[in-house]
Amino acid sequence: MNSNNSFTYYGYWLPRIKFSVRFSLRLQGQSDVGSIVVSVTHAGKRFLYSLGFHRIPAWHWDKARQRMLPRTPRANEINAEIDRHLEAIILFYSSARNADAEQPTLDGLKAMLFPQRVNAVIRVEQGSIVGLFQRFLKEHTNGGRPLSKLTLMNYKTALSSWQAFEKHSGKNYSIDDFLVPDHERTQKARKIIESYQRFLIEVGVGNSPLSDNTARKRLKVLSTMFRWAENELGIQLIRKISIKGEIVSKYSVSLTQNEVDAIANVKLRPGSKLDHVRNMMILAVNFGIRHSEYLLVKPELWREPYQLITSPKTGGTCLLVHRPQVREILKKYEQNGFPASLRINQKINREIKEICRLACINRRVNKTITRDGIDHHETVELHTIVSTHTLRRTKITLDLNNGRTLRDICLETGNSPKVASRVYDRPNLDEHVWKLGVKRIT
């Protein structure tokens, strides 16, 4: 389905005036819900603004008639608002038909439709991108739901990257630098974005250049913030802020069953921090959960055959099956719950690497980082790169190796089949060749 579910059929020619109006349903990413927006084109320029109706299902929208289908929720309210705006726009241009009248402009239309918004835009133009970003962090929601801690942390990291870019370039940018009323302004805005991208890949925050995937994620957050500003302020900002290509983890690895068994059998002091982390590693391999979902598990439910949790990241449901190994671990935490020390992902990743080192997870693997479209390879011992997300990949890869269906795996992990197979399936190449019976000739 196209990201812009629309069709233009409103076109008007008044004496000395030609303009067009389009009402469309702009879908959100790959989803099938979107927001109703209005696009007015006049004198080679365009004014785009939101009607304020969000999360409208695509099947409720009549793209040919540019309005809600009859008998769908809120159809009367939304269609009345569409008619009101259409009438106001036509009236604005019709009022300038006599020769003595002042020629209408898009700026005049904005002032007529949204006098308060125009004042807000003026204030923002005089402000900074950093200030707008900070407001975005406070006011933006996920379809009306508060942002998850992980998403908010990702947004704050993106803001820090932009602040580092401004410090490096010696300039503080304002929203006015990214308004796109004409081709010349658009080109200037695009050069700023290109400079930001080069900064991320070549310099980075703290002189640590980012991989293409990480830089892409920073640019994606910036684009999200700009789209939010368009809806809030009724302005049009630069689009297509991205590095081309999909975000795919290249050459990432998973653990084999023997390596998982070695982790479970490594000798650790009972009740120590390493012991707690190892228990969470075993749960993660069995459940396929993210780190942000660890402390949502309820150990007191160990007698039940399963439990359900809702992912803070996606809002999807994960089915946690209480297999025998899982039950043994949950029973240990029935009274006091999981330690609060397991909340910090960076610290847990350090402990995971230490546990894997003690378990002699020394298999040599490729570590690949892509910068500026070029892959940089090095061979490292596996224990040096294992993280919480490696355990999620391990769950999916081992289940696929054991013949479980993708549907069953996604039921437990909360993934879509496409994401599970594309991002998380990481078979062991040595095992694959060994099963084929092909060996080194001696």
Q: How confident is the model at residue 14 (pLDDT cuts 50, 70, 90)?
A: low
**C-alpha angle 125-130-135 in degrees, rounded to nearest 5:** 85
- The pairs formed by 347-353 with CB atoms below 8 angstroms and a separation of 24 or more are 348/277, 348/280, 348/291, 348/388, 349/387, 349/388, 351/273, 351/274, 351/277, 352/277, 352/281, 352/386, 352/387, 352/388, 352/390, 352/391, 353/383, 353/384, 353/385, 353/386
How far apart, in Å, do the first and last CA atoms of the chain sit?
Answer: 56
Residue 286 · residue 395 · CB < 8 Å: yes
Same domain, 262 and 228: no
DSSP state of 103: P
CA-angle at 309, arms to 278 and 311, nearest 5°: 85
Is residue 309 domain-shared with residue 412, that is, in the same domain? Answer: yes
- Cα 435 to Cα 217: distance, rounded to the nearest angstrom: 38
Whether pLDDT at 23 is above 90: yes
Rounded to 5 degrees, what are φ and ψ at 365? -135, 165
pLDDT digits (tens, 9 = 90+) for 26-52: 876 666 888 898 988 888 888 888 887
pLDDT digits (tens, 9 = 90+) for 175-203: 888 887 667 778 888 889 989 988 888 88
Number of domains in the chain: 3
Is 95 found in the same domain as 203? no
Q: Does 418 or 359 have the greater pLDDT score?
A: 359
Check whether residue 274 and residue 365 sit in a common domain.
yes
Residue ending a domain, choose from 88, 113, 138: 113
Q: Are residues 34 and 79 in the same domain?
A: yes
**Which range marks the domain in which residue 127 is found?**
121-247
Co-location of 242 and 269 in the same domain: no
Q: pLDDT tens digits, residue range 77-124? A: 999 999 999 988 888 887 765 545 567 788 788 778 876 554 544 444
Q: Which of 79, 113, 147 is the last residue of a domain?
A: 113
Tell me what pLDDT residue 292 has: 81
Whether 378 maps to a domain, the answer reads: yes
